[in-house]
Amino acid sequence: MQKITPFLWFNNQAEEAANFYVSIFKNSRVNNIHRSGDAGKGTALTISFELEGQQFIALNGGPHYSFTPAISLFVNCETQAEVDELWDKLISGGGKPSRCGWLQDRYGLSWQIIPTALMRLMSDPDPEKSKRTMQAMLQMDKIDIAKLQQAHDQG
């Protein structure tokens, strides 16, 4: 059991959201659903699930709180294909793209879909290359590795 588990508050879509996230990420599963009502057959109260080995708990807590971009889930991606696939799936059904690799899914949860190449290129010891990479990234919604590399290498 991990020591710290993100706990996500939903109005009444926790089970739907957990199933949505599990359908997107490999090595993911719903572990347990605690239901209210007689014999545990009522509405889901909490759902524990894993995404790529990271445990989460989702709660149907009512309309008292909603997500903000102040908390986001950062996803390291190795390839452009992985960036594209996760981006497209997470914004499907009403999600919204944002700048610099951020998006908000249909439930309002913010994600950062970031290729490992971004950090590598931005960490270049040549400050001009790092700056060009940063400037290119600031113009993007979904991160494009080829365009980052092109900006990094020009000059």
Q: What is the reported pLDDT for 39? A: 63
Q: Is the pLDDT of residue 81 over 80?
A: yes
Q: 42 or 117, which is more confident?
A: 117
What is the chain's length?
A: 155
In the chain, domain spans: 1-65, 67-155
Which CATH superfamily groups domain 1-65?
2,3-Dihydroxybiphenyl 1,2-Dioxygenase, domain 1 (3.10.180.10)
For 67-155, give the CATH class.
alpha beta
Q: Can you tell me whether residue 1 is helix, strand or coil? A: coil
Q: Is the pLDDT of residue 21 over 90?
A: yes
**Cα angle: 112, vertex 114, 116; to 5 degrees:** 150
Q: What is the reported pLDDT for 155? A: 62
b/e map 52-87, b = 16+ CB within 10 Å: eeeebbbbbbeeeeebeeeebbebebeeeeebeebb
- Provide the CB-side half-sphere exposure for 94 (13 A, CA): 6
Read off the pTM.
0.93
| pLDDT tier, 106 (very low <50, low <70, confident <90, very high otherwise) | very high
Distances 88 to 47, 103, 104, 105 between C-alpha atoms, Å: 25, 10, 11, 10
Rounded Cα–Cα distance for residues 51 and 49 (Å) = 7
| Tens digit of each residue's pLDDT (9 = 90 or more) over 110-148 | 999 999 999 999 999 999 999 999 999 999 999 999 999
Q: What is the reported pLDDT for 41? A: 77
Average pLDDT, integer, range 14-39: 93
Round the average pLDDT of the chain to a whole number and report it: 95
Q: What is the reported pLDDT for 40? A: 65
